[in-house]
Amino acid sequence: MPKDQKQWDWQQDTHPAVLYSSRPDGTVQCHLSPRNCVIRPGSVGFCRVRANRGGELVTLNYGKSVAMTEETIETEACYHYAPGARILSMGNIGCMMNCDYCHNWQTSQARYVEDRSVHYYTPEQVVESALERGIQVISWTYNDPVVWHEFVLDTARLARQHGLVNLFKSAFYISLEGAKELCDVIDIFSISLKSMDPTFYKRVTKGQLQPVLDATKYVFDRGKHVEVSSLLVTDANDSEADARKLSRWVLDELSPDVPVHFVRFHPDYKYTQVDRTPVERLERAREVALAEGIRYCYLGNVYDNEATNSFCPYCGTVVVERYGLIARPVGLTEESNCRTCDRPLAFQLLPKPQTAGLNIVEVPDSDLSGTDHEWRGDVKAVHIEVSSEAPATHEVIVRVLGGASNGREIKRVPVMPGAQYRFIACKSATDDRGVTIQTPPGVHVSMYEVYDRAHFPTDTVLQIKHSSDAVPEAALRLRGAGRA
């Protein structure tokens, strides 16, 4: 049977869907995304995760997720809400678009999803995991959370009841009905705007521009925290005219205080022959945006560049210093004013998180094993997945490897007995070489190189045979198989 037609285990159980209408001929029409798929009995929609079963629309991905992963809020192109906050990232399966350069195609395009990548969670488990680790923000991210609508609503509602914040990182090709339901539970929208050219949308993303703009304006007008990012793909949407058009739309329809992020592309999926975006083009796009009147404009997926810092737009002071995914709010008051000129700035801060209160059993240094991971070329972050057979809760410690900060501790992550947990570590200074992960007896480590932020890798470093620091292994395999 061709792989496209194979029924994977994860597709077997279903959950009732919302936002659809039934038609007399037995078909159903889904109203979640502007695609408005009409689905015949036994078939699936464009996203392959919403199906017609007996004249009713069901979801195939309720509670089905990639491994939950602890990251920082900067991963999500969100720089003005709780800078430096830890987030629990949740990604699922499927997408209402199919961008030719997708960085998460192994999960966004359901036909490539392998059962081994699918984890099963209940809303209660997700919320409990965030609470027990003292994480304040749940991020709905990666492939695209639009097609996880029912699970997002149920979990985000529960999360809110426990005082947590919900972040929705999305291409936001969603109907206004869908956006309206999200407004009840989501606090932050980080919108990935692919281009301001309708033809580009149609040709490269298989979506449409106008519904994305409408939905973004809709949530902004309802008082939600909105940040806009645009992945600048080399020679495709990285011109000065593109940056100007995007900036003018943000200024006209949203606000000069909405942060704009220009993000560097890495070759992936069907765009493996396209080079990484030259940093000078990202810098030029930022200059254009600032000249147009955008107050806060950032570059993403670049290191050692001052355009990752936040500056007070009135006096020029650095108010948040960033390196990679690490943020230090150095110039903000508790009221989000600039410490130097006291003008109010467009930041939202969260109170310090409660300590998790876990019963952590210390292990002497002499019993810890060290695993080194070195950065190579443009790959400067890693997902570390730990699983524990230990009888008690222990901590995994991450330290800087090399450079002036060699040995400095940058992270401590508790691992409960029997648990599997993923978290990110990234380059933290110009001269560090990598990280050392110190684990107690009974705790096992796997590592996955992260090519860029919000990229969910599925190959461990041990599975990597090629050595490209620009194109992930899976995309090279796809190209080798002639399927890209």
Binding residues for ligand SF4, rule: CB under 6 A, are 30, 32-33, 35-37, 45-47, 50, 96, 147
Q: How far is the CB of 327 from ligand SF4 (least distance, A)?
A: 34
- Closer residue to ligand SF4, CB minimum distance, 32 or 363: 32
- Closer residue to ligand SF4, CB minimum distance, 35 or 270: 35
Q: How far is the CB of 113 from ligand SF4 (least distance, A)?
A: 15
User: Sheet containing 86-91: which strands, arranged edge to edge?
Assistant: 297-300, 260-264, 225-232, 188-192, 165-170, 137-141, 86-91, 69-72, 420-426, 381-388, 443-450
Residue 209 to residue 187: CA distance in whole angstroms: 23
For 282, phi and psi rounded to 5 degrees? -65, -40
- Closer residue to ligand SF4, CB minimum distance, 174 or 319: 174
- Closer residue to ligand SF4, CB minimum distance, 8 or 249: 8
Q: How far is the CB of 161 from ligand SF4 (least distance, A)?
A: 27
Q: How far is the CB of 99 from ligand SF4 (least distance, A)?
A: 14
Nearest residue to ligand SF4, scored by beta-carbon proximity? 45
Which residue type does 54 have?
A: G
How many degrees, rounded to 5, is the angle at CA 236 between CA 253 and CA 172?
Answer: 40
Which residue type does 150 have?
A: E
Residue 396 to residue 436: CA distance in whole angstroms: 10
- Closer residue to ligand SF4, CB minimum distance, 37 or 99: 37
* C-beta of residue 127 within 8 angstroms of C-beta of residue 162: yes
Q: How far is the CB of 108 from ligand SF4 (least distance, A)?
A: 12
Q: How far is the CB of 36 from ligand SF4 (least distance, A)?
A: 5
- Closer residue to ligand SF4, CB minimum distance, 207 or 267: 207
- Closer residue to ligand SF4, CB minimum distance, 38 or 464: 38
* C-beta of residue 448 within 8 angstroms of C-beta of residue 382: yes
Q: How far is the CB of 16 from ligand SF4 (least distance, A)?
A: 14
Q: How far is the CB of 174 from ligand SF4 (least distance, A)?
A: 8
* C-beta of residue 187 within 8 angstroms of C-beta of residue 140: no
- Closer residue to ligand SF4, CB minimum distance, 50 or 383: 50
Which residue type does 408 have?
A: R
